[in-house]
Amino acid sequence: MVNESGASIYSASETAREEFPDYDITVRGAVSIGRRLMDPLAELVKIDPKSIGVGQYQHDVDQNKLQSSLDDTVVSCVNAVGVELNTASKQILSYVSGLGPSLAQQIIKYRNENGPFASRRELKKVPRLGDKAFEQAAGFLRIRNASNPLDASAVHPERYTLVEQMAKDLAAKVEDLLKDAELRKSIPLKNYISEEVGLPTLNDILSELAKPGLDPREKFEAFSFTDGVNSIGDLRVGMKLPGIVTNITNFGAFVDIGVHQDGLVHLSQLSNRYISDPHEVVKVQQHVMVTVTEVDEKRSRIALSMKTDEKPSLPKNKKNETKRQAEPQTDMASKLAALASKFK
C-alpha cells in the first residue's frame, strides 16, 4: 500500500503539467503514486507540504511561518537522506543546501547536454555554481558507480584526502575501508585530529564509511488489510482489524482500515491507561490493531478502539488496599475496639 495523500494536488500542479504535458490528470496521479513506491522523498517534495495533511489547526496559524517551518523540515529530510545527482528532479535538487531553484535548473540543463556526472568535482563546471555553493551542496549529493567510491557517500570532498590518508596508513585502499569492518576499527582516530577536524567529524566519517549511501528508512514491513472487508457495509461491531494511522488530532487518531473511509479512535479509546495526548501512543503511518465499536453507514462514520481486553494488574500496595476495603465493617470495628482497650 502506498499513501496517496496529495496525489490529486500534484496531478493538477504546474510541475505535473511540465513533466507530463500530454497526459490526463488521472494518469499523472497514477504515475506519482507509482513513483512514491520507488523513491517517496523525491516524489513528495513536488507537493506543497500543507496538502499532505500536516495537522488539525494548520489553517489557523500564521501561513508564512508555517510554510517556512515546513520548508525547513523538508530541507532537513532531503539533506539527511542525500540526493542521487544523476537522477534527481529539479524539485528535490532545489531543497539541497546551497542550491535552490535556479542552480537546480542549471544542473538539470548541464546533465541533459553533457550526460551523467562522472564525479562530484564535475559540478564545478555547471554555469553559475560557484565554490561556495559547491562547498555547501557537495556533501548532500551522491553519484553511484563513480570512479571515486566516496562520491556515493556523505563524506564531503574536502575530507577525501583525509580518508585516503587513513587507508594509506593502514596499507589499504579506500575500497577496503568501505568493505572491511575490522580494518575500520583499527583506525586510530586521535591521530587525525587537527584544528580543522575534530573527533565528532571523524566519528561521522567512520560511520559513513560503514554504511555509505544507506537508506535511512526503517526496514519495510509488508502490510495488508483484512480480506473481504472492502467497504463500510462489510463492517460489524466487534470486528478486530489491522489498520494504519493516517492523521492525529487533539481528540484522537484516524485509522485507515481498508474501506475507503478512515475510522476514528477517540482519545479515550487509544489506550487502557489514561493519556492526555494521542502522540503518547501513536504516530502517523503506524500499524495498529483496532476493534470496531460503532458503524454509522448513512453518515459514513466509523468508531474504533485500540483498548485491549486484558485487565491491567494492580501494584502490590493497590492489591492490599483492595483487600482491606473488602473486609467486613464489623470485623474492622472489633479490631479497633480491641486496640483501644489496650490503651485504657
- Are 309 and 291 contacting, i.e. CB atoms less than 8 angstroms apart? no
pLDDT for position 324: 47
Q: What is the helix (H) or strand (E) element at residue 303, kind and residue range?
A: strand 301-305
pLDDT for position 305: 92
pTM of this structure: 0.63
Q: How many CA atoms lie within 13 A of 102 on its CB side?
A: 6
- Which three three-digit cell numbers place residue 251? 481528540
- In whole angstroms, what is the distance from residue 291 CA to residue 305 CA? 5
Per-residue pLDDT reduced to its tens digit, 281-302: 998 888 899 999 999 888 889 9
Q: Which residues of the chain have pLDDT under 50?
A: 312-314, 316, 318-319, 321-329, 344
pLDDT for position 326: 45
